[in-house]
């Protein structure tokens, strides 16, 4: 299936205000996990799109590189966001143009479901991540009935061609196809890493992590014991993990 240039199909990636909201969330999770070590981190944002999140996070790290396969998005990023410690490159996440063990921190925010080979993507992230480095990983859940980006029930569960035609009939716009996984499938995909699960932590205390859209939900979840939230986790819309590269427990990279 041909991948469309996402920045040309969904104007939300150009919404700087909303992108900064997401960036604050990512920063809060990384600061919770890394503490002051974040400030010294050489960082890579894989799938940076038009660069707003990358630019925001660059103020909290030593150096930041954003990459995306979308030529139009990278052109916009280079035009709109300039800083001494920030660079943007057009690159394929399945073939990252960096040496092994180049980065302390990697951002992989809502990317895995949009690449043709998610296993190869994660192998590349593992390769360029430094020993004891970490990756902020987030992604959607195929078991959640509402498609996360366009909010159409079961759209992501339909065959690609059917979903594309249905979306065109409803919106007269091209549908950027996503392939989500279940909680258990993601755990298998990420088995090379040590996983620190932040999903339920965020749900139980969204204000701590700046997840403003969950503030109203927290009036309910703050009374729910963590074991109950963990039981519900496989059916939540989005998963958020910190992936650590700890070579003491290294598993050989999976074959693509």
Q: What does the alpha-carbon distance between residue 110 and residue 238 come to, in Å, rounded to a whole number?
A: 9
Domain contains 3: no
Q: Are residues 43 and 165 in the same domain?
A: no
Q: Are residues 157 and 54 in the same domain?
A: no
Q: Are residues 131 and 229 in the same domain?
A: yes
Domain boundary among 120, 155, 178: 178
pLDDT at 175: 80
Q: Are residues 239 and 122 in the same domain?
A: yes
Q: Of 29, 45, 193, whose CA–CA distance to 119 is shortest?
A: 193
Q: Are residues 159 and 208 in the same domain?
A: no
Q: Are residues 172 and 51 in the same domain?
A: no
Domain contains 153: yes
Q: Are residues 150 and 233 in the same domain?
A: no
Classify 45 in phi/psi space as left (phi over 0), alpha (psi -120 to 50) or beta.
beta
What is the tally of structural domains in the chain?
2
pLDDT higher than threshold 90 for residue 122: yes
Domain contains 252: no
pLDDT tens sequence across 126-157: 999 999 899 999 999 999 999 878 888 999 99
**pLDDT band with cut points at 50, 70 and 90 for residue 251:** very low
Provide the percentage of residues in the chain whose pLDDT is more than 90: 75
Q: Are residues 167 and 51 in the same domain?
A: no
Range of the domain at 154: 143-178
- The segment with the largest mean pLDDT, out of 15-29, 163-177, 181-195, 211-225, is 181-195
Q: Are residues 40 and 163 in the same domain?
A: no
- List the CATH number of the domain containing 62: 3.40.50.150
Residues sharing a CB contact under 8 Å with residue 169, sequence separation 6 or more, in sequence order: none
Domain contains 127: yes
pLDDT at 14: 64
pLDDT tens sequence across 182-229: 999 999 999 999 999 999 999 999 999 999 999 998 889 888 888 899
Contact between 154 and 147 under an 8 Å Cβ cutoff? The reply is yes
Q: Are residues 102 and 35 in the same domain?
A: yes
**pLDDT band with cut points at 50, 70 and 90 for residue 2:** very low
Q: Are residues 35 and 147 in the same domain?
A: no
Residues sharing a CB contact under 8 Å with residue 133, sequence separation 6 or more, in sequence order: 101, 103, 104, 105, 106, 244, 245
Domain contains 63: yes
Q: Are residues 82 and 132 in the same domain?
A: yes
Domain boundary among 158, 178, 198: 178
Q: Of 241, 17, 236, whose CA–CA distance to 109 is shortest?
A: 241
Domain contains 125: yes
Domain contains 168: yes
Domain contains 256: no
């Amino acid at each position: 299936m041909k991948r469309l240039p996402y920045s040309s199909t969904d104007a939300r990636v150009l919404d700087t205000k909303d992108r900064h909201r997401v960036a604050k969330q990512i920063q809060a999770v990384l600061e919770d996990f890394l503490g002051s070590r974040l400030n010294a981190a050489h960082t890579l944002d894989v799938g940076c799109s038009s660069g707003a999140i990358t630019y925001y996070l660059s103020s909290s790290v030593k150096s930041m590189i954003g990459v995306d396969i979308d030529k139009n998005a990278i052109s916009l990023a280079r035009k709109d966001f300039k800083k001494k410690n920030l660079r943007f490159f057009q690159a394929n996440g399945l073939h990252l143009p960096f040496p092994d063990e180049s980065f302390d921190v990697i951002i992989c925010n809502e990317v895995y479901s949009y690449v043709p080979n998610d296993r190869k993507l994660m192998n590349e992230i593992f390769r360029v991540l430094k020993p004891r480095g970490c990756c902020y990983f987030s992604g959607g859940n195929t078991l959640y009935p509402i498609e996360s980006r366009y909010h159409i029930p079961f759209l992501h569960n339909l065959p690609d061609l059917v979903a594309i035609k249905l979306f065109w009939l409803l919106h007269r716009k091209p549908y950027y196809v996503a392939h989500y996984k279940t909680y258990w499938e993601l755990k298998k995909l990420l088995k090379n890493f040590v996983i620190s699960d932040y999903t339920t932590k965020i749900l139980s205390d969204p204000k701590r992590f700046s997840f403003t859209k969950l503030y109203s939900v927290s009036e309910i979840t703050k009374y729910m014991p963590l074991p109950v939230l963990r039981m519900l986790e496989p059916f939540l819309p989005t998963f958020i993990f910190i992936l650590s590269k700890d070579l003491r427990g290294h598993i050989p990279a999976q074959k693509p």
